[in-house]
Amino acid sequence: MSAAPKFAHVVFQTGQPTAMRDWYCAVLDGHTVYQDDALCFITYDEEHHRVALLTPPARLEAKTPVTAAAHHVAYTFAGLDDLLARYEQLKEQGIRPAVCIAHGVTTSMYYRDPDTNFVELQIDNFAEPDQATAYMHGPEYGGDSVGPAFDPEAMRVARRAGATVEQLTDRSWALAAGLPSPMQVLSGAS
């Protein structure tokens, strides 16, 4: 059996290096390690870089909803209070999620960077990966693998009012709001 690799970094090709740098530093609470006209390296932990921005010396075409590309990169927080704290921090900077989804396996907030790439900020709703896998093979997930949208502001208010993590990460809490399907946003149609 071969050794398992560890995730190192993601690289985005961009024609907007300053906007992308500022956005990723804000969203990840990171900082620039190095930047020149071609490359920018950003980190938020002990790694020398987790996000890199490559700026080619040519004009880039904008991505469209029908462009084949990676869909999103996801970052996991330790718990719901940490995720909601980041939501508040970003909201104060004018950065709001494009859509929030109660996947069941995770509770997730999807943001769009300046190049319209999605970044998912999430928490795992199960303590062990085997529990999450079992849930994915169950009837609730089988009936709707994406899950319902939720309002992050309503979640923040409910949490401050005493709602438990278990209540707020259960799909029934999100379903009660009756928000539109998140698929329009996830697919880039809106």
* Confidence (pLDDT) at 189: 74
Asked whether residue 23 is domain-assigned, the answer is yes
Residue 19, pLDDT score: 97
Same-domain status, 76 and 50: no
Give the model's pLDDT for residue 4: 80
Total domains present in the chain: 2
pLDDT of residue 66: 78
Are 112 and 150 part of one and the same domain? yes
What CATH number has the domain bearing residue 138? 3.10.180
Q: What is the pLDDT of residue 1?
A: 65
Tell me if 66 is assigned to some domain. Answer: no
Beta pairing partners, 35: 40
pLDDT score of 63? 84
Domain harbouring 25, CATH code:
3.30.720
| 95 & 158 share domain | yes
Task: Show the low-confidence residues of the chain (pLDDT under 50).
Answer: none
25 and 117 in a single domain? The answer is no
Residue 106 sits in the same domain as residue 179: yes
Decide if 46 is inside a domain. yes
| Geometric angle at alpha carbon 49, from 44 and 53, rounded to 5° | 105
Distance between CA 181 and CA 186 in Å, rounded? 10
Residue 120 structural domain? 72-186
Q: 38 and 97: one domain?
A: no
Give the residue ranges of DSSP H helices in the chain.
Answer: 17-28, 80-92, 129-136, 139-143, 152-160, 165-169, 171-177, 183-186
